[in-house]
Amino acid sequence: MEVFFITGASRGIGRALAKELLHENTILVCTARSKSDELMALAEEKGSHLAFIEYDLAQTGELENLMDSMISYVPKYPESVTLINNAGVIDPIGNTEDNSAGEIERSIAVNLIAPMILTSAFIDRLKDKHVPKRVINVSSGAGRHAYAGWSSYCAGKAGLDHYSRAVSLEQKREPHGVKVVSVAPGIIDTDMQKRIRSTERENFELVDQFKGYKEKGLLSSPEETAKSLVQLMKREDFASMDVVLDLRNL
């Protein structure tokens, strides 16, 4: 059995990924703040192995326990184990002096601290499993290009990219190391995009540009993105690919 852990699995890319990976040869362990009845019903219909753990990733103090719970579903001899750190938040939007301490803290917690802690625990708990192990960090072009009004989001995603680089260097020294990549998926038609389009221009000066992406049909669907991410993981040269990737260039 191939095992996949997916954060932020109740909607958007995470939900689409879960649907794409739901088949008889996989075990899916999904987490989000609320359980997806749709995914649970689909898994039952397909006879697939799906566990769903309700958890708010901003509660960083219990993330190691969350990983322990997820790993409890891993069989003794899995074919592979993959952690997909997909969950993310765009808020707060606006100039940094207008962002509250609580909003900044939550943004960095979900976008950066949670993937770091989960990845750390994943590597530690599975170091004796001599099977392919992967960490897919879902990043953003905002981690590579600054946007006024998105200071927290940009900082979190830039940190995620650089964290991935550092961990990759560490894991290359290990005989059964984890392959880590940080992937910008492009501009996807998700609830995050709806939130961006609803922003006042004074808080995000490029809002009209993002509205234009929707009006001109330039947004990828979560389903298209999920298929591309699965294809990425299945590539024969995946283990030798660069750490920081853009899905649109592959």
Which residues does the annotation mark as catalytic? 153
Task: Name, in order, each residue with C-beta under 8 angstroms of 63's C-beta and a sequence gap of 6 or more.
Answer: 57, 114, 117, 118, 121
H-only helix segments in 60-148: 63-71, 101-108, 114-125
Residues linked to residue 245 through DSSP beta bridges, in sequence order: 183
Asked, as a colleague might, if the bond just before 92 is cis with ω within 30 of 0, I would say yes
Given a contact cutoff of 8 angstroms between Cβ atoms, the answer to whether 29 and 70 are in contact is yes
CA neighbor of 61 nearest in space, from 7, 123, 8, 114: 114
CA dihedral 34, 40, 41, 42 (to 10 degrees): 120
Cα separation, 199 vs 160, in Å, equals: 25
State the helix-helix crossing angle for 151-171 and 101-108, rounded to 10 degrees: 30
Strands 133-138 and 26-32: unpaired
Residues linked to residue 134 through DSSP beta bridges, in sequence order: 82, 179
Given a contact cutoff of 8 angstroms between Cβ atoms, the answer to whether 157 and 113 are in contact is no
